[in-house]
A and B are shown apart, each in its own frame.
Chain A
Amino acid sequence: MPARAVNDFTIRVATVNGSGSQSSNLVLTNAIARLGIPVAPKNVFPSNIEGLPTWFDVRVSALGYQCRARDFDVLMALNPATWQQDVAGVKSGGVVVHEENYSVKGDTFREDLTYYAVPFAALAKEHFADKGDLRKYLTNMIYVGVLAHLLEVPASTVEESLSAQFRSKPKAVELNLTAINVGREYARQLEKHDPFHLVPMSGKTDGLMFMEGNRASALGCLMGGCTVAAWYPITPSSSLCEYFIQYCDRYRVDKESGERNVAIVQAEDELAAAGIVFGAGWAGARAMTSTSGPGISLMAEYAGFGYFAEVPGVIFDVQRAGPSTGLPTRTMQGDVSFAYTLSHGDTKHVVLLPATVTEAYEFAMEAFDLAERFQTPVFVLSDLDLGMNSWLTPPLHYPERPFDRGKVLAADDLASMKSWGRYRDVDKDGITYRTLPGTKHPGAGFFTRGTGHDEEARYSEMPEVWQRNLDRLVRKHETARTAVPSPVVDEKKGRKVAIIAYGTTHHAVVEARDFLLEAGVELNYMRVRALPLSPEVATFVKRHDRVYVVEQNRDGQLYGILRTELPTHLIGRLESIRHYNGVPIDARAIIDPLLEEERAPAVIAD
């Protein structure tokens, strides 16, 4: 038997989409976390309601790595269609638990693996013949019992996890527990001869909870004071709005009158959703839409309008592989350069880049403040990995700051002013003062249009007026540089090589840096959290000979933005590392190309 592998391996559950394996997967994941062992689940699922293969990876990592592991060690094989492929993918020395009637010979017989055959279908038939449609769910719960026994998860822990999962359905707990016990009982007859063990530990998961990024963003909308939401359903962002609807149904309804402090519209398309957002933002409400890449394509025209007319609005883009159809359930950091300049004409938007569940929450709140402070569209770019996967995360904090409603003149303000102009840069920060419709003052009104307005919001096609306005918008963009979330830097003096990354790529960088440190490659790290880029980015690059820009797209989108915006003499220091196969980036995707490059680093001309 190979050496003991404790609390550091990956379980892959291979099932068929629509077979109801999600609850089982989460019960198992949660039970492991309850042992105090950090765990990172990744759902790799098809664009399909029922029938196509789906995989659920549970990465167990005592060190707390949360990125996807490239390889897996323990296979729970419940899909005959992918049986061969799944066995081929198990890491040498690994374990295969499979439906008994799958044939283990030829390609599917590997001497370097341990096999456990379990008659899942027969057990389910024996115990749950009368359960009709529920049987397939219960079959999946049997697998939880088998794995829990093999990996030595105590029955009480699994039961706790199950109860938490079905908190609101006690009857379901009982039935599912029966299924888990059927699995556990069967597994007792198996002689364990594999090296994988789960051993309780402490100090790593205390007080943590599981949450998806989309749920956290929805909570950010709730606590950030969003009152108008408009959306068009699209994977992987739909759950963001759906969670927001759930929270609003609970918290934004007056119990007596039934009146709601929120309006949520399922729009006819994404451009209409954007129109609703900017109409509401213009009239003074905090408004948002959530979408994915194809949606922001349609929103481009209103995004440009919002930028030039200077209207607040928040756009969540939970990025997926794109465009069109095919890989809507696969992840990508594919919209960074598109969102940054979305629209025709000279446009540069504020873009926030959350990496964690905490940031998915905080940046959602922050986005509403920034949108109103800067009177402009603000994009929050997460991705499918952050948005739809469950992450172990500390509880989210209660916001201490009041809303920042920005420069809004009320009737009283106007009464005490000699005059005002909608687009006058009084404070020289590029941000002008606005009034809201409904402000009871004869001077409050102004005419909002996209391009072609002077400082008083009058129509103008004068070249100098237009150029002056474009230049002021640049000033506003410069002001935003230091107002958006600043980069997070982990730097030791003397290191000459560094990584720049953003969003969920962060989690692979964490693991890659540890590995590379062991291998003798010491790397500093800057995690960019927003566009426009902080001035710190240039000084960070300047302090290093080589900076690897790591991201999850084919063309190096942030790399491109850096090449455009950094001083020319620094551009040669940038290298690009890209991962773009649709599944979340793993550490090897950084380690391998970086090591290769570092063995023969590019010559720097300074």
Chain B
Amino acid sequence: MTANLNIVGLTREVYKGLPTTLCAGCGHNSITNHLIKALYEYGVEPHKLAKMSGIGCSSKTPAYFVEQAHGFNGLHGRMPSAATGAKLANRELLVLGISGDGDTASIGLGQYCHMIRRNLDCTYIVENNGCYGLTKGQFSATADIGSTLKGGKANEYATIDICGLAIELGATFVARSFSGDGKQLVPLLQAAFSHRGTAILDVISPCVTFNDHEGSTKSYAYVKDHDVVLHTADYIAGGREINVDYEPGTVRDVELEDGSHVLLRKVDMDYNPADAINALRTIHETRDRGEFVTGLLFIDTKERDLCEREHLARTPLAQLDEEVLRIDRDEWQRLMQP
């Protein structure tokens, strides 16, 4: 195996997609690059990847990575349902959903909530820029109160906190990060792929065209000044030796369902991502200070995912034929007794 092949024998090139058609400097493009790195290093087999999205700038990005994989660019806010169907049809797929803040927090809020409630096994990334890009800069529901539009108009309405809501709904993996922080985001993405259940990644991703001005709380400048980093993260694939030097008490080791680990190295405070109440408190307190907190906010590796709760067969449902699915003639005769 040469140095540039990953564990499934593929080069990083394979994980690339078509050239982006988003604006130069868009946070989403950075996320795409982090995704390419994460998928390549993780060793996802392209044919097992299902790239799902709704509508919006964010939802275009599945075209920009792993061109070989199947992609599904569905309806605005309605990707979680399609992702649910795809996963139920073939549970061997690694379902990766890419959404935006309008797609998730407004038109798709219902489907977002119910995906979490069912604990659908998927990675769900919200590329969160606080505004609608394709329709030219209207506020989204994740805009902070007092944040202004390019023309100066201030948002009067409460923000919907995607992470806080997810925890409240019983989400089993909730992380927040910043498109400019690949060092933190890449291992969080890999941990999300390993997690069995819905993994929410709320990634603040500035819109350079409509929401990068003074007065915006989702601009590059603002985000860099107000990012409260809980921890840096390292992802250690299952079966590999954990060989990281750290002082006792500075790192939390979270073991994921597939035997992999994510190591969280604390920055300022000790943070326990298994404590949902503390996670909510941290989200509230940082938001009240005009800051936003990044890192693995909450994880629960014990809860069963949708396929387990439904006792789904190991063989993908899509592959079952009439031999398996039809009842036999004798039983049919019994059913048809007048």
Contact = CB atoms under 8 A, between A and B. Distances in A.
Interface of A: 207-209, 219, 222-223, 225, 227-228, 230, 251-254, 258-265, 267-269, 271-285, 287, 301-302, 305, 395-396, 398-399, 402-403, 435-450, 459
A398 B328 CA distance: 9
Interface of B: 45-48, 50, 52, 62-63, 66-75, 78-90, 92-93, 110-111, 113-114, 118, 307, 310-314, 316-322, 324-327, 329, 331-332, 335-338
Q: Which 4 A-B pairs have the closest CB atoms?
A: A279-B85, A275-B81, A284-B318, A279-B82
B92 to A, nearest CB: 6
A596 to B, nearest CB: 42
Contact of A267 (B74, B81, B86): B81
Contacts of B316: 284-285, 438
B98 to A, nearest CB: 13
B78 A254 contact: no
A281 B82 CA distance: 9
B118 to A, nearest CB: 8
B338 A209 contact: yes
Most buried by B among A277, A283, A448: A283
A442 B86 CA distance: 20
B85 A282 contact: yes
B71 to A, nearest CB: 4
A280 B89 contact: yes
Given A263-B317, A269-B110, A279 B83 contact: yes
B311 A272 contact: no
Given A272-B114, A437-B90, A447 B326 contact: no
Contacts of A448: 70-73
Contacts of B50: 283, 437
Most buried by A among B46, B111, B318: B318
Contact of A445 (B68, B92, B335): B68
A396 B325 CA distance: 17
Contacts of B324: 261
A402 B323 CA distance: 9
A581 B186 CA distance: 63
B111 A268 contact: yes
A450 B311 CA distance: 33
15 contacts: A208-B338, A227-B89, A259-B312, A259-B314, A261-B317, A276-B84, A279-B85, A279-B87, A280-B89, A302-B75, A305-B75, A402-B322, A435-B70, A447-B70, A459-B63
B313 A230 contact: no
A583 B52 CA distance: 45
A462 to B, nearest CB: 15
Contacts of A284: 89-90, 316, 318-319
Contact of A225 (B52, B66, B90, B322): B322
A419 to B, nearest CB: 14
A272 B89 contact: no
A278 B114 contact: no
Given A267-B114, A276-B84, A287-B85, A302 B72 contact: no
Given A209-B338, A227-B325, A301-B75, A438 B313 contact: no
B338 A279 contact: no
Nearest to A258: B311
Contact of A279 (B72, B113, B322, B326): B72
Given A442-B68, A459-B63, A276 B338 contact: no
A259 B118 CA distance: 18
Contacts of B84: 230, 265, 275-276, 279
Nearest to A438: B90
B327 A283 contact: no
A57 to B, nearest CB: 22
Contacts of B90: 283-285, 436-438
